[in-house]
Structure 1
Amino acid sequence: MEKFFKLKEHHTDTRTEITAGITTFLSMVYILAVNPSILSASGMDPSAVFTATAISAAFATLIMAFLANYPVALASGMGLNAYFAFSICVPMAKAGIQDPYKIALTAVLVEGIVFVLLSLTNFREKLVNDVPANLKYGITAGIGLFIVIVALKSAGIIVSDASTLVTMGDVGSPQFVLAIVGFLIIAILDHFHVKGHILLGILITWILGMIAQATGWYVVDLEAGAASLFPSFSASSFIPKAPNFMAFNFEWAGKNIIEFIVICFSFLFVDLFDTVGTLIGVASKGDLLDENGNLPRAKEALLSDAIGTIAGACLGTSTVTSYVESTAGVASGGRTGMTALTTGILFLVAIFLSPIFIAIPGFATTPALMYVGLLMLSSIKNMKFEGDIADTVSGFMAIIMMPFTYSIANGIMFGMLSWVILKLVSGKAKEIPAVMWVSAALFAVRFATLIYGIGYR
């Protein structure tokens, strides 16, 4: 393990890597509960989706571990699964199309194949490495704010409001209180340099939640989304349901080629830039970028993501992508593929122990994501706010548009487009790399689809 993952070279050890892998897993295990719930709206069996989600996450994460040697975990992407279910399958079902999820899975498969081709042509690698430094730091900070707002929403710390868009939630709810307490626990443990402080914060918060349920403060209300915090065991719950293997519909795609291309482009666009943003954010936080600010082995990392997407489609789940929650493991010291290896193994174990892992509530992982957001936001100090206006504004746009439009992809879109436009206006067109020109063209098409109400929002 030492020689393969080069632990000493990355200033880490086996214990740290395993702890980081467990931390990453606990930060993203919610997908095993959320994905079946979302994709069930498409007509898919939730139990089959659970199995597909766990296996595809394990497979893709192990590929990342051994092919790229990065502490990045993968699973079915949030947002992409909602697009799969509610923007594709539900409208098709209303139009009378049978098993629309098979069409969506076909689109995911095609998207994955295109991703592989893009990876082999070095386009995605150049996209990662040719992004301006200021924009990279802005993307890192923006992702930090994005995962914070996701975490706050998950614990009910912030809720929607008709007048102010968002407002503070019920301060007296156990979810609110325990999430804040958990965040402070992580901060205290970090202050005293306790190893695995983020993982301990998750577990302590979960235990406090179970105590709250036992004393009657936390009340189980399934309609309100408050499930029991205690794992429920039954003999059947340990037997995994067979996934929807190779459930494709190429016939519909062939007869409706224009509509199918639009669906594929929507998947392709969001997955491409979410993946790039996540890799930049994780690598920056883990000091994995080289002296020029580029990501070594970017091709291998991007290819791992693409292979994971193809595997997910074959198994019967929505697009598999790199998870920003990997930063939780990086913040715990993870630096190599051994972190991803640990996470991947735990996803395999989760197939047979789903009652335990699904019982971890969102408010228990909220403190971890909040603390990671704090750490990632610190990249702002590396940004230069004087000098080239394109660098300054592009980084700023990435920071603000991610959390406020609730999309990593949108933040990257506005950041890159503003950089290219300002370079042109300031007479510095020669400084624009070819890959940024291509990205700008993609975003022009993306804007057109948004203007006419086509594709993912």
Structure 2
Amino acid sequence: GGCPEDRRTPIVAYDDACANDGICVFSDAYTCDVLGGIMQSGTTWIGILGMIIIAIFLAYKSHLAFVFGIGLVTIISWPRGTAVTYFPDTLAGDARFDYFKQVVDIQPVNMLLAQFTSDLAGAGLALFTMLYVDFLDTSGTLLGLANAMGVIDEEGNFPKSRWAFSADALATMFGSIFGLSPVTSYIESGSGVEAGAKTGLTAVICSFFFFISIFFAPIIASIPPWATGGALVVVGAMMGRSLAKLDWNNVSHAVSGFVTVILMPLTYSIAYGLIGGIFVYLVMEGTFHLLSFVGISKPGSKKDDKGPARMAIGKSIINPQGDGGGLGEYAAEEGVGNDAGENADDGEDDKEAPMADEEEATPDDK
């Protein structure tokens, strides 16, 4: 689209025939030299424009923000012969335009029950994999959407969560019968939430338009990705508000949370982001727990906050501040496991007792 032809490098299917001076198959795909990463692609800028338009409309609480932004960028991208067209003068562009001109296209349902197999071992592996990937993906999506609606309680639950997970599971099961990829909840639903969706009526209307899209697939398929990309960026920004609830002062929470957020766009998967974040959190917390057995208190614990950081390793104490001390001093100071610690605690109690008696004395007693 927006890449000048003199800066395009075609991607070649390099096979044995091509290597032996035979016929080299040139793909319609290409890479673009943009002079050191300078943003020169017209499609990039039109996508940014759509994102800004959506953000402005949202600031004014308009329910048409996403519809107008996506629709405007799509209409601008349809005419041929422009730098931002979705139908460039290439093989792929010509194929897209020919399909777009059909307007209406009804495809036969020829994948019904086509994915059943008698390979129980392979099916079991796929079932185990999809169970956890889909569960984590759905959990992250539903919790994110529920948090955006403000319906999550103090315990992290939201109303009718059982029904939501059950509906997602049933949709995945029945979708596979028709040879479809998992029919699950998608983070794109956040655009509906930001537009004011609350009761489920939006989902019903969307399902109707999904049914209509079966017949108008050429039109729907011709919506360029840079038209919808801006909307998803805005949705991500809106859902980023929940990051304020993360305890950034806790290192394990901060690192695992950051890994979760950064892996989602890098892997194109909410589930992979959650898996990465959970793994990092478990490793860090597990390490802290194991070190606590040798006397190294967990960072941020009450014991660690009482004074200088000390790590008991074997029979020695490492004190980063260099004030000396040994294992006996550490135990006495913390009041664990020896008589010195118990006596120290008793002494503190004796000192505090008279103060408590004085506070309880009334003016009449005096």
Tell me, in whole angstroms, the C-alpha distance in 2 between the residues paired with 1:220 and 1:382.
Answer: 49
Confirm or deny that 1:278 pairs with 2:278: no
Counterpart-to-counterpart distance in 2, 1:327 and 1:168: 35
Instruction: Name 2:195's counterpart in structure 1.
Output: 332
Task: Tell me if the contact between 1:221 and 1:227 (Cα under 8 Å) persists in the aligned partners.
Answer: no
Q: Which residue of 2 aligns with 1:135?
A: none
* CA offset digits 1:332-373 (Å, max 9, x no partner): 111221111111111111112222222211111111111112
CA deviations over 1:422-443 (Å, ceiling 9, x no partner): 33343499xxxxxxxxxxxxxx
| Cα shift at 1:215 | 5.2
In the aligned structure 2, how far is the partner of 1:182 from the partner of 1:307? 36
Whole-angstrom distance in 2 between the partners of 1:215 and 1:405: 32
Indicate whether 1:195 and 2:63 are aligned.
yes
Equivalence for 1:241:
108
Match of 1:391 among 249, 253, 258: 253
Instruction: Give the Cα separation in 2 of the matches to 1:282 and 1:229.
Output: 38
Amino acid at match of 1:314: I
Does structure 1 retain, via aligned residues, the 8 Å contact 2:264–2:273? yes
Alpha-carbon deviation of 1:231?
3.8
For 1:202 and 1:223, locate their aligned partners in 2 and report how far apart those are by CA, in whole Å.
22
Aligned pairs for 1:62-141 (under 5 A) are none
Amino acid corresponding to residue 74 of structure 2 in structure 1: W
Q: Deviations over 1:205-249 (max 9, x none)?
A: 1122235x3657632434379934994236xx4434124212244
Task: Compare relative contact order (CA 8 Å, sep 6+) and give the higher one, 1 or 2.
Answer: 1
Residues 1:426 and 2:288 aligned together: yes
Say if 1:229 and 1:360, in contact at 8 Å, map to a contact too.
no
CA distance in 2, matches of 1:222, 1:322: 34
The partner residue of 1:210 within 75, 78, 88 is: 78
Whole-Å Cα distance in 1 between the matches of residues 36 and 59 of structure 2? 28
Please say if 1:227 is aligned against 2:108.
Answer: no
Answer yes or no: is the 8 Å Cα contact 2:190–2:235 preserved in 1: yes
Instruction: Flag the 1:175–1:220 CA change in 2: closer, same or farther, 3 A.
Output: farther
| Deviations 1:384-436, CA, capped at 9 Å, x for gaps | 2124x44333322212222334432222112223333333343499xxxxxxx
Are the aligned partners of 1:209 and 1:229 in contact in 2 as well (CA < 8 Å)?
Answer: no
Select 2:237's aligned residue among 363, 374, 379: 374
Q: Does 1:182 align with 2:50?
A: yes
Instruction: Provide the residue aligned with 1:267 in structure 2.
Output: 130
**Aligned counterparts of 1:307 and 1:415: Cα–Cα separation in 2:** 27
2:303 corresponding residue in structure 1: none
TM-score by length of 2: 0.62
**Who is 2:334 aligned against?**
none
Residues matched between the structures, number: 260
Structure 1: 5+ residue stretches without partners: 1-155, 162-166, 430-457
Q: Which residue in the other structure is 1:347 paired with?
A: 210
Cα distance between partner residues in 1 of 2:170 and 2:32: 37
Give the counterpart letter for 1:418 in structure 2: V
Instruction: Give the C-alpha shift of residue 198 in structure 1.
Output: 1.6
CA shift, 1:268, in A, is 2.4
Q: Provide the C-alpha distance between the structure 2 equivalents of 1:391 and 1:160, rounded to a whole number of angstroms.
A: 40
Paired with 2:279 and 2:179, the residues of 1 have a C-alpha distance of 35
State the partner residue of 2:274: 412
Deviates more, 1:169-178 or 1:403-412: 169-178
Question: Kindly, what percent of the aligned residue pairs are identical?
Answer: 32
* Root mean square deviation of aligned Cα: 3.2
Please state whether the residue corresponding to 1:302 is helix, strand or coil: helix
Deviation at 1:169, TM superposition (A): 6.4
Pairing 1:126-165 to 2, within 5 Å after superposition:
none
Residue aligning to 1:42: none
Shift of 1:325: 0.8
Change over 3 Å in CA distance of 1:305–1:168 after alignment to 2: farther
Check if 1:310 corresponds to 2:173.
yes
Check the 8 A contact 2:115/2:179 in 1, yes or no. no
SS in 2 for 1:321: coil
CA distance in 2, matches of 1:225, 1:391: 50
